[in-house]
Structure 1
Amino acid sequence: MFESINYHVDLDTECQAEAEAAAAVAIVQRSTKNIRAITRQIPSLAEIIKQKPQRYEIVVNGNKTLNLCLKTAGAMLYGQNPEAEAASAVARFLDSKLLPHSNLVLVIIGIGLGYHLLPLLQKTLPRFVIFYEPEPDILVLSLQSAPWFELLTFCQAQGIQLFVQLGTSAKSVKADLDELKQAYPDAGPVYYFEHLHYPHLASELYQQEHSDNSKNCALTPQFLASAISQVNPRTISLSLSHNEQECFRKNLAWLAKNQSSLYQKLHSYQWQNWQLVIWQQHYAMQDKCEKVFSVSANKAHRGTIKQSSLTQDPVVFDFSLPEKLLNTAFATLFKNVKQLQLTIQTASEQNAHFVTERILLGSADYEACGKALENSEYLLVLEPDTDFLYASLFTVAWYQFKGDLYFCQQTAEVEQRITAQYQSGQLQLTDIFIDQPYYEKTLFSAYHLLLEIVQSCNGKSHYFEKQFASLNHYYQNISNATYLTNKQVSEQAPIFIVGNGPSLDLHIDYVVKHRKNLILISCGTALITLHRNGLTPDYHMELERGADTLFYLNKLPASYLKHLTLIGPADIHPAILAVFQKNLLVSVENTDVHQEFTSNFTNFSLLQLNYSYYTVTNFAVDLFLSIGVQKLYLIGVDFGFKNQNSHHARDSVYFQQDGSQLYDYEQTHGSAYVINANFGGECLTISSFDMARKLMGERIALSPAQQVFNCNDGAAITSSIPLRIPNITCTLSTTNAFKQDFLTLFVEANLTIKFEELTQQFKEKGQYCVKQLLSCLDENINAAPIYIASLQRQILNSTIASKLDHSYTLFDGSLRYFEMVSSRFYRCQAETQTNLALCQFWRTYLQHCLFRLSL
């Protein structure tokens, strides 16, 4: 099990700073000495060790020891005392083997912090040593912790020949050993020490040890494995006790009654890659290569972690808002809540565990499963690995749960279920905890997607300022644009949808060469890149509703923009419309004002798009599939990046002339994590990109007769067709015919009332509602925030029945955020002063809403 960084650093920032300062002196001294030694004795690594690590970083534990952290996950490789862990692993290795000293070959898999390296060499005195480290970042970071200078000095003194296989070179132990034996026929027996777990190397070690090429390591539910490191762990086959058999029988009976499809899968199931065993007196899972995974054993090995998850929950306390929203009143409310979070961390001595709704990611931590059953009314369990889910039927009394329990094996299934139950009112999502007791890549990706969904439902996507602007824009735009009707094109042409991802650089020359034979759609900031390369799109699309879009549009010549036709959402900022020659607007998402808005089109049915978020490229794909275009080509629609600092095209607005980032992309948009790439392998992404990618895949799947070609070296998009180089055959007359046909799909509104009157109506209704909310707050100012929130919810819900009252649309998101925070403060037993401060911050926000409505 790999613990979150939150359980390792000191929550007292001053104490943590002191720990880091104490460690910094030793880090600098050791790094300087190590760099000199490696540069002199292993010159082939000289350039590599100058590189800046991308995926990993050194973190100082609260107790002043060093640790390795996977940045994208915030997951720590070691426990609180990495040096002791390494010493214990070395001792276990030495105890299990009789090591001859003559011409010994020692293969070490994984460098890590490097505490194990020198002790191994000193105890075994090998003649040859081969280090394998597939992650170059880890070698670079080990310069801050490992005794490289002493190790290289020792090798020189003892005549030990050292080889380092790094990155892509660390891929074939057998081939390297064959080469070594050819060069040195007298090389002795080979011994393997596996410090870090890399499945392809671990499989090869097993195959060599057992002369069995038929078995491969299962993909472990962890990114590295140090506590259980050697090839032959001492496990005990599980002889099922009466209690375990009875637990299994009752769980199956529960599944037969409540989830029959899963029952059919599991009632006669046979182990596939893992099986349940006993290891170090704990339940564990062992794969066919005898590798062991045990959350319980790791917990016992590393000691009890702090149970402060509810007070540190990113779902509630870490809204990652775009930079342009940091000056909004909603952002100020969030910042104030963030400050109050520190007080509940201090005050919550008895850490609360109970929440109404819980999503449990993974079933391998049996203790966490038990606590989830005890401390929830609604429990949704995601376990992608059937072996692990099957094992939990013997070890976890799921059948005892009195609330609503459901098992899922796909992230998409979880998303669909919580979305449907939220829309139907079965789930509130305000008193919810996404429980991730251990790190595993698929579960970690799921965590970020679910976090985005819950935050979006609780104000992030529909807070007051955003809703207020949308309503204003809807009415102002009616007389200045035409709107997409529910019809389809009769003409066809290849549509090139151009995003601003790094793959745009790969295809820009192709687009220039074939420009006349395709319909070119620029999306958002891709327009900057196209202009810099002498290209003018047929249509430009925007999804952002705010006036800040003008910031990058103003970087382009006004004459260039005046030749363009804009396609945008119906609630786009009116100032954006003014810079384009023609404006084609589309009804996007199912909002509460849609019916009121469409009443102005008495003779036409407007097309309603429901998959046009989170990015403008989602908007483009949804639009052109919906009107019947048969072939779409995605260019620069990466939804990911191979390098942390190459997240957009090089000519985009995100980079300065010298190639440096305009701002810290990762810091602003959240940590990146690994997903499958379009042409195989992996790439990095962030949660908002990943949500958009999955949504686009869902939309493409709805149109199986149409083709969407993904031409990008970025993330894989479900249901799209990977295509490295577009291949089009089209004429200029065909593209012109399509453009003429496309314009016939748009119509003007039949205005029956001036937009000023419509705007005044919803403002007056909104003022009345917010005054009621403020009055409710003032009358109950000394009550618990969760009680105040419930009263205000009743007030807001009462406005739904009125057709002309848009108060629910305006305030639902912001009130849901207050409900979520209030619920968490209640669970964490926040003190009276903290609750009062929260209410005052909420009051200030409502006063701001009232002021905006009165302008």
Structure 2
Amino acid sequence: MWPYSQQAIQQRFRKNLSFFQQNMPSLYKVLKDIRFKRLTLSVDEQKKRWDIMDGQRSLYLGDGEGYATEEANTFCGYFPEGAGIQTIAPLQVDNYSAPRFFHNHLNTTLQQLDYSAMDPKCHRMPDFMPLVVFTGIGAGVHIQKTLEQRDCQVVLVMDTDPEALLMSMYLTDWYDIIPRYTTQEGRFFNFILVDEVDEQRTFMGFWNELVQYTPLFPSLNIFYNHLKEAFRDKLIKRIQEEFKVFLTAWGFYDDEANQLNNALHNLKNLVPTLPRNLEADMIIWANSNPAVIVGAGPSLNERIDWIKENRKRFFLISAGTALSILKHHDIVPDMHVEIESDYATVDHLKATLDENYQIPLLAGAIQLNPRVFNLTQRGLLYYKDSTALHAMFGARTSAQLQGMTPTCTNAATGLALQLGFKQLFLFGMDFGYKSKTETHAAGSVYFDEKAPKYLQDSIGERMSNLKVEAIDGSTLLTEPIYNAARDRVEKLLYTFQHQAKAYNCSLGAKIDGTEVVASRDFFEAMIGAEVHPDEYREQLLYRSVLTAPSEIDQGIKLAATYLGNVCQFVRQEVKAMNPDYRGLVMAVLKITRRLEADFRKQRTPLFYLVRGTIWHYLNAGISVCYTATDTDTGLKHLKIWQARFIDFLEQWPQHYEWLVERNVDANDDGWLVKRIGEAVDDPFYHGPASAAKGDQA
């Protein structure tokens, strides 16, 4: 019997429906209520051909099976054994050279490898496909044809249309395919359906699903865009552009340890934190007054007079090193925002603040270096997202702000929005520059001869050739961290689109969700009358909260238990894995899926204490194995990595215990005068006490 006869497709549909009901009940609940509105199946039993019509459009040009077969053959031909997987660059021997515990441990692992037998440019396809992401279900036959030709270990099928999945149940033997993808068989299969509301939400839906497979995604994934659909192709390209930005947001334990040490000092020194709920009068004040947020981008040179000559008509928030530019123009902000835990924050504030120039309020992340509060009279802390610190110390009494990483500009934007400001004017938030000699506005601390040399030198270290679209349609140079910050601002504005309006008064990159302000007259017409911020700042401080010593102790113990449990679980999985290419993929999948599932179930931000570090070490395993130019070298490298990762997982909880029990006064703590790329007093660090070069932070 022809497999697509009317009798065959009805039998297949019933089998698939029964399979989904028993094995995929959540998808079954969606499918059982679907009625075909757009898609129609056309079957010609005489010619033995079938097609699917999307309205009046033929998807397969009259021959569905022929189209799917040819498309699958073409896709498989692109990725033969040994082909390069062009996603992110493999690790190099000096990627983790910072003289701290985690970096040093992983760096020692990488130094044991034979780099002469490794591809420095890309990962290589083994005799199977580690991770295939099919975008577009269509009839599903192209997926079945691909899986008949190639052994695909992890298969993700993504679409926005449940109707397509329902249609595929007539044509594709899901009931036969999916049962072969079990962890016992060393394989995995999953459907991912997201709503197609608009491009941004569809992108975020796909992205949020894919990151659950990190670091298999983005290191080893390949995309199959069925029917070469333009909308999905655009989404894939956007996902690929996000790869490098994504890597900068992973974080790692050395930074987490540094942040924890800083936070413990700040809490014990009784620096107050932003309360969990702001009272109505505070929200009303912010609702009623415009906020100007100032970054350090070069276009601030052309717009600084807008700020200076209207200074009393808005609440002025400076972000990071923009403070030095405001000082250059004799402008004092109403609030200054910092986020970076590194000692560089202390250095740039030392170079900016003096007896003649002070700020009325410093709003800093809880992990800010405590030495900054020796430089300013009044400070307020906030908990940002994507760290474990709020779950440890602030969950009961303090607010946790969203969208605060990776830079001060998006942190200032996030803080303003979550304080309740409804009108935001963004100055000097360029997120790019025309040339590598014009990266910051005049007066920046980076141009200050009195500033530390490493701050001055950093201006000349711009190596990125990334491009970004400017507001006038031209192209600017940018960097991964600037792209990440702009992306975070756009997501914040999207989230708050019904509560606030943002105006782009910068002359840099295009910022989605903002209205570009071209004229000074428009700006001055929007900002209104004089603002009186003194009482507002007083009330912010008065209503802030302190953390009791008992809560600090409870938070330390909570994180210790979580870290110990995670290390035990990961260590067991790494020990039990088959020490080969497939075994590594399955171990990575089990570990990351379990940690993500626990995180989503328990909603515990303690996950951020471990996530980035585990991703980095797992990704190192992928890199050392999948870049090898021959299988024997790959397996040899894998054994080295396996033993070293187990060793790290045994030491990690011990390091945490040592860190939280140090009990060193802030005035005597040597950690507080070192940058993250410099060695500190740490019995777990075994290496040269020199500053890192090429640190992958």
TM-score (norm 2): 0.63
**Cα gap change, 1:551/1:740 in structure 2, threshold over 3 Å: closer, same or farther?**
same
Look up the equivalent residue of 1:741 and give its one-letter code. Answer: Y
Distance 2:411 2:350 in 1: 23
Identify if the C-alpha distance between structure 1 residues 467 and 835 changes in structure 2 by more than 3 Å, giving closer, same or farther.
same
Shift of 1:718: 2.6
- Superposed CA deviations along residues 729-757 of structure 1, whole A, max 9, x for unmatched, are 59998422x34124313434355427985
Say whether the 8 Å CA contact 1:436–1:447 is kept in structure 2. no
Q: 1:451 offset after TM fit, Å? A: 5.3
Q: Which has the higher contact order (CA 8 A, sep 6+)?
A: 2
Matched, 1:475 2:271: no
Matched with 2:423 is 631
Matched, 1:690 2:483: yes
Matching residue within 749, 758, 766 for 2:545:
749
Cα distance in 1 for partners of 2:610, 2:207 equals 22
Counterpart Cα distance in 1 of 2:348 and 2:440: 15
Change (3 A) 1:263 1:446: farther
Distance 1:360 1:341, change over 3 A: farther
Question: d(CA) in 1 for partners of 2:346 and 2:204?
Answer: 35
Q: Give the deviation of 1:622 after TM superposition.
A: 1.9
822-831 or 786-795: which moved more?
786-795
Deviation at 1:540?
1.0
Task: Give the partner amino acid of 1:379.
Answer: L
Q: Which amino acid aligns with 1:484?
A: L
1:270–1:820 distance in 2 versus 1, CA, 3 Å: same
Supply the AA of the counterpart residue of 1:431.
Answer: L
Residues 413-422 or 460-469, more deviating: 413-422
Match of residue 141 from structure 1: none
Secondary structure of the equivalent of 1:572?
coil
Offset of 1:447 from its aligned partner? 0.7
List aligned pairs for 1:472-551, cutoff 5 A. 472-478=261-267, 479-485=269-275, 486-487=277-278, 488-491=282-285, 492-551=288-347
Q: Distance in 2 between matches of 1:398 and 1:450?
A: 34
- Give the letter for the 2:308 counterpart: V
Question: Compared with structure 1, are the counterparts of its residues 606 and 795 closer, same or farther at alpha carbon in structure 2 (3 Å cutoff)?
Answer: closer
**Can you give the 5+ residue segments of structure 1 that lack an aligned partner in the other structure?**
1-241, 285-293
**Which whole-Å CA distance do the structure 2 matches of 1:314 and 1:327 have between them?**
25
2:363·2:379 contact (CA, 8 Å) conserved in 1? yes
- Determine if contact 1:767/1:850 at 8 Å carries over to the other structure: no
Residue in structure 2 matching 1:836, options 639, 651, 661: 639
Q: C-alpha distance in 2, partners of 1:376/1:788?
A: 12
Name 1:555's counterpart in structure 2: 351
CA RMSD in angstroms comes to 5.7
Asked whether the 8 Å contact 1:589–1:612 carries over to 2, the reply is: yes
Higher Cα radius of gyration? 1
Whole-Å separation in 2 of the counterparts to 1:638 and 1:328 = 33
- Residue 583 of structure 1 and its aligned partner are, at CA, apart by 0.5
Contact 2:132 2:156 in 1 (8 A): yes
Q: Find the counterpart in structure 1 of residue 384 from structure 2.
A: 588
Cα distance change of structure 1 residues 757 and 359 upon mapping to structure 2, 3 Å threshold: same
Does residue 525 of structure 2 align to residue 724 of structure 1?
Answer: no
The structural deviation recorded for 1:615 is 2.3
What is the aligned partner in structure 2 of residue 575 from structure 1?
Answer: 371
Match of 1:708 in 2: 502
Residues in 1 aligned to 2:354 and 2:7: alpha-carbon distance in whole angstroms: 75
Q: Is the 8 A contact 1:363 1:369 kept in 2?
A: no
Distance 1:806 1:248, change over 3 A: closer
Q: Tell whether 2:458 aligns with 1:664.
A: no
Matches of 2:485 and 2:511, distance apart in 1? 10
Residue 708 of structure 1 and its aligned partner are, at CA, apart by 0.9
Q: Measure the CA separation in 1 of the matches of 2:155 and 2:597.
A: 27
Unpaired runs of at least 5, structure 2: 21-26, 41-52, 179-188, 450-455, 663-697
Amino acid at match of 2:612: G
Separation in structure 2 between the aligned mates of residue 575 and residue 755 of structure 1, nearest angstrom: 23
Residues 265 and 370 in structure 2, CA contact (< 8 A), matched pair in contact too: yes
SS at match of 1:834: helix
**Aligned mates of 1:469, 1:509 — CA distance in 2:** 39
Question: Residues 381 and 407 of structure 1 are in contact (CA less than 8 Å); yes or no, is this contact kept in structure 2?
Answer: yes
Q: Could you say what secondary structure the match of 2:381 adopts?
A: strand
How far apart, CA to CA, are the structure 2 residues paired with 1:348 and 1:730?
53
SS at match of 2:425: strand
**Counterpart amino acid of 1:435?**
I
Cα displacement (A) at 1:566? 0.7
Number of residue equivalences: 565
Give the residue type in structure 1 aligned to 2:639.
L
Change (3 A) 1:760 1:606: closer
- Distance in 2 (CA, whole Å) between partners of 1:319 and 1:413 is 38
Alignment identity in percent? Answer: 17
Contact 1:517 1:730 survives alignment (8 Å): no
* Paired letter, 1:719: G
Question: Residues 316 and 335 of structure 2 are in contact (CA less than 8 Å); yes or no, is this contact kept in structure 1?
Answer: yes
1:404 equivalent in structure 2: 190
Deviation for aligned residue 1:337: 6.2
DSSP-derived class of the 1:483 partner:
coil
In the alignment, is residue 379 of structure 1 matched against residue 172 of structure 2? no
Tell me how far 1:651 sits from its aligned partner: 4.3
SS in 1 for 2:292: strand
- Does the CA contact (< 8 Å) of 1:494 and 1:728 recur in 2? no
**Residues 709 and 275 of structure 1: CA distance in aligned 2, closer, same or farther (over 3 Å):** same
1:446 equivalenced with 2:239 (yes/no): yes
Please point out which of 414, 435, 446 is paired with 2:222: 435
User: Could you tell me the TM-score, scaled by structure 1's length?
Assistant: 0.53
* Alignment-derived partner of residue 309 in structure 1: 84
Conservation of the 8 A alpha-carbon contact between 1:765 and 1:807:
no
Deviation at 1:380, TM superposition (A): 4.6
Q: Is 1:619 matched with 2:404?
A: no
Q: Equivalent residue of 2:524, what SS?
A: coil
**Separation in 1, partners of 2:562, 2:593:** 15
Task: Spell out, residue by residue over 1:243-279, the C-alpha distance to the aligned partner (whole angstroms, 9 max, x if none).
Answer: 9x9999999x99998789997566554799x99899x
Residues 705-735 of structure 1: CA distance to partner in whole angstroms, max 9, x if unpaired? 4221112233332322221235235999842
Contact 2:503–2:516 (CA under 8 A) maintained in structure 1: yes
**Residue among 466, 474, 492 paired with 1:699:** 492
Corresponding residue number in structure 1 for 2:453: none
Residue 695 of structure 1: CA displacement?
Answer: 3.0
Aligned CA distance change for structure 1 residues 845 and 575 (closer, same or farther; 3 Å) = farther
Aligned 1:23-34 pairs, distance under 5 A: none
CA separation in 1, counterparts of 2:474 and 2:60? 30
